[in-house]
């Protein structure tokens, strides 16, 4: 049995960057100018901020020391009566301001060519199914948590279609974002990126490599696989529960005793589990999501 940890941020060297990967400024329907949006994120301790306005690429403000900025865009795609949104970061070409893509394929192909990293936004808000996710060719990641969608309509979490896609063999990252359109939604969900250097190029390469985890509060401090014992272990900020989630019913729930939160958990990986990811729940119910790691039952450790 082999657990592929090459996509683990904990196996990579470098800087941890607290990232806002989906934002809106006054360039579209946000409430702050790009400069003020950047300053607000800096005050909240972010080191990586992407500007992802609707169908328009915001001019990048001059970042203060210690903060990396990325260009980006959010594209609304027609899909019958629904309208999925795709987000692209670190654009090699500007999206023509105001233009809307005519099809999912057009948006997907443009992003695959022009964005350093791209993902599907808020599957719940867009009412998307697992089949919809699987239909997007080589989709790198989805938002497993969009705090704006949770605070507005209660459909901020997307772990079900994520697991269903992973169970079907997809490699798919899970991001947490705010997608804030108002001050109250800022700083609620974020992605922690492990980049070898604090630069736009290195941060985007880290995202493409899967070197990140998502959170609305808990910290995942370490995630290690011991090949000798076949055990995956996690260390985290105080948690009421740590889940090892995999294909079907083969996972494990490690629930803390009331009043004594746990800061570590371990699972002897089942060779037939397909993939495994870790989800941490803190005492107030906030969650963090590691990426998913593939398990090859026939692989050497």
Point out which residues bind Zn ion (CB under 5 A): 74, 85, 121, 179
Q: Which is nearer to Zn ion, 104 or 276 (CB)?
A: 104
Minimum CB distance to Zn ion, residue 278 (Å): 27
Nearer to Zn ion, 121 or 295 (CB): 121
* Closest separation in Å from C-beta 54 to Zn ion: 7
Tell me the residue nearest to Zn ion as measured from the CB.
85
Q: Counting every residue, how long is the chain?
A: 301
- How far is residue 17's CA from residue 239's CA, in Å, rounded to a whole number? 22
Q: In terms of CB distance, is 49 or 209 closer to Zn ion? A: 49
Considering the complex, state which of residue 73 and residue 195 has its C-beta at the smaller distance from Zn ion: 73
**Cβ proximity to Zn ion, 91 vs 265, nearer residue:** 91
Shortest CB 11 distance to Zn ion, Å: 31
Shortest CB 249 distance to Zn ion, Å: 33
Nearer to Zn ion among residue 121 and residue 165 (C-beta): 121
- In degrees and rounded to multiples of 5, residue 192 shows phi and psi of -105, 115
Parallel, antiparallel or unpaired: strands 68-70 and 48-50: parallel
In 3D space, the residue among 194, 283, 288, 273 whose CA is nearest the CA of residue 235 turns out to be 288
Cβ atoms < 10 Å from Cβ of 66: 11
Pairing of strands 252-255, 241-246: antiparallel
Question: Nearest distance from residue 214's CB to Zn ion, in Å?
Answer: 16
273/258 Cα distance (integer angstroms): 29
If the CB atoms of residues 21 and 292 are measured against Zn ion, the closer one turns out to be 21
Q: How far is the CB of 274 from Zn ion (least distance, A)?
A: 30
Minimum CB distance to Zn ion smaller for 182 or for 199: 182
Give alpha helix (H) positions in 44-178. 104-114, 130-134, 147-153, 159-167
Question: To the nearest whole angstrom, how small is the minimum distance from the Cβ of residue 24 to Zn ion?
Answer: 6
Contacts of 278 (CB under 8 A, 6+ apart): 220, 223, 232, 234, 242, 243, 244, 245, 289, 290
- Angstrom CA distances, 53 to 50, 56, 105, 180, 276, stand at 9, 6, 20, 11, 33
Give the integer Cα–Cα distance in Å for 275 and 52.
31
Angle at 64 between CA 60 and CA 68, to 5 degrees: 60
Q: What angle do CA 152, 153, 158 make, to 5 degrees?
A: 110
Q: Give the shortest CB-158-to-Zn ion separation in angstroms.
A: 13
CB 204 within 8 A of CB 90: yes
């Amino acid at each position: 049995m082999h657990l592929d940890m090459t996509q683990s941020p904990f196996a990579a060297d470098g800087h941890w960057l607290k990232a806002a990967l989906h934002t809106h400024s006054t360039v579209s329907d946000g409430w702050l100018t790009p400069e003020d949006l950047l300053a607000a994120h800096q005050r909240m301790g972010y080191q990586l901020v992407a500007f992802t306005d609707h169908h328009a690429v915001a001019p990048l403000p001059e970042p203060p020391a210690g903060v990396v900025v990325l260009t980006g865009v959010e594209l609304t795609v027609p899909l019958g009566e629904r309208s999925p949104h795709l987000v692209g970061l670190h654009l090699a070409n500007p999206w023509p301001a105001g233009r809307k893509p005519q099809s999912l394929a057009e948006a997907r192909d443009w992003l695959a060519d022009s964005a350093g990293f791209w993902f599907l936004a808020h599957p719940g808000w867009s009412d998307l199914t697992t089949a919809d996710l699987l239909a997007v060719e080589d989709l790198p990641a989805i938002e497993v948590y969009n705090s704006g969608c949770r605070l507005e309509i209660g459909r901020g979490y997307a772990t079900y279609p994520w697991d269903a896609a992973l169970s079907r063999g997809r490699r798919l990252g899970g991001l947490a974002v705010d997608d804030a359109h108002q001050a109250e939604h800022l700083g609620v969900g974020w992605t922690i990126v492990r980049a070898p250097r604090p630069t736009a190029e290195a941060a985007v390469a880290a995202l493409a490599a899967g070197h990140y985890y998502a959170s609305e509060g808990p910290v995942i401090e370490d995630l290690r696989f011991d090949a000798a014992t076949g055990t995956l272990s996690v260390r985290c900020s105080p948690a009421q529960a740590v889940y090892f989630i995999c294909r079907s019913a083969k996972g494990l729930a490690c629930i803390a005793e009331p009043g004594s939160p746990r800061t570590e958990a371990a699972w002897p990986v089942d060779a037939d589990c397909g993939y495994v990811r870790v989800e941490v729940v803190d005492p107030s119910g906030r969650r963090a999501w590691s990426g998913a790691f593939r398990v090859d039952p026939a692989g050497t450790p």
